[in-house]
Amino acid sequence: MNITVLGAGAWGSALAIHLSGRHPVTLWGWDSTQIETMRTTRFNQRYLPDIPLPEKLNLTSDLYLACNNSELILIAVPISALRTTLQEIVAMPVQIPVIWGCKGFEAGTSKLPHQVAAEILPQKLPCGVLSGPSFALEVARGLPTAMILASRDGEFAQIIARSLHHSSLRIYSSNDVIGVEVGGAVKNALAIAAGIAEGMGFGQNARAGLITRGLAEMTRLGLKMGARADTLSGLSGAGDLILTCTGDLSRNRQVGILLAQKQALPDILKDLGHVAEGVGTVREVHYLAQKLGVDMPICTAVYSVLYEQVPATLAVEILLNRATHSEFN
């Protein structure tokens, strides 16, 4: 299968590196200078400096050339660039099935990726989402990873999952697009909370409690939006949440750690060098929770730190002093 990966950041490059072992793959990036450097050096020095690019991996900054002979487009840009990327795809004279790997809610609209896609892509064009607990560096290294590919067209999800499946990249199929996308989005907001707790010196007991109660928040919001509970307890929900809240490669967890150390958010994001999707997600989750009447105290506490300048110590104090109640109410 000829595959085009759009987005030459860490995630797009990692997927392109892995998939090129079994498929003809073209990796596209908007920055022609970056792409030319990658073509010459065979490294993505900015995002995956220690991982060589396979010689057979094709690189281009020409979107038409990237997609011209493709049988599947895999979008690996941040959620903020999804809409414009889709618009550029549909403007081309070819129609190719599309899957996306971005996580979060679109800023300003609070829409999930599939809702953005539904406004742009032709109604009958097969499409879906690839998500799950997956750090780009580990995928690029070929370390075992399990993910989920969801589409409202269940047959399409199964076909693509089988095509991309490998012993070191196990891909399962689902038709619960909402559940997969809600899990992938909310876990980033909760990872910031986990980082704050870690940065304040709280122990593993607190982290386990935060992850479990965070999963309850994620599930409440997901169910309200039409997701299935089993999806949120699976790879794209609980699995991704556990990884992002505990893994040293988690950018969102790192944001929380630095916030707890009283560093300013603009400075944190500048020094990070990568996109931390959770920062924008927190704002959209807060809006949706209020709109839908969903109780999400952990996410609310993170929102107050990021957008209301509440000190992390005070936000945690307020959270810990909430009245107790039955666990599942």
State the catalytic residues: 187
Torsion of CA 44, 46, 48, 50, to 10 degrees: 90
262: annotated binding-site residue?
no
Q: Which residues have C-beta within 8 Å of that of residue 145, sequence separation ≥ 6?
A: 132, 133, 134, 138, 139, 168, 169, 170
76: annotated binding-site residue?
no
Site of tokens 């109660």: 213
234: annotated binding-site residue?
no
252: annotated binding-site residue?
yes
Q: Which residues have C-beta within 8 Å of that of residue 210, sequence separation ≥ 6?
A: 190, 193, 194, 197, 245, 298
Q: Record the tokens describing residue 172, joined without a space.
A: 């399962």
| Spatial CA neighbour of 220 closest among 207, 237, 205, 244 | 237
201: annotated binding-site residue?
no
62: annotated binding-site residue?
no
**Residue 212, amino acid:** T
29: annotated binding-site residue?
no
251: annotated binding-site residue?
yes
173: annotated binding-site residue?
no
278: annotated binding-site residue?
no
Task: List the beta strands (DSSP E) in 106-238.
Answer: 127-131, 145-150, 169-174
Quote the CA–CA distance of 266 and 261 in Å, as a whole number. Answer: 14
203: annotated binding-site residue?
no
240: annotated binding-site residue?
yes
Taking a C-beta distance cutoff of 8 angstroms, is the pair 190, 241 a contact? Answer: yes
DSSP 91: T
277: annotated binding-site residue?
yes
Q: Residues comprising the binding site for NAD(+)?
A: 7-12, 136, 251
Per the annotation, where are the binding residues for substrate? 103, 251-252
Q: Known binding site: residues?
A: 7-12, 47, 103, 132, 134, 136, 187, 240, 250-252, 275, 277
Q: Which residues are annotated as a binding site for sn-glycerol 3-phosphate?
A: 103, 132, 134, 187, 240, 250-252
Output the known binding site for NADPH.
Answer: 11, 47, 103, 136, 251, 275, 277
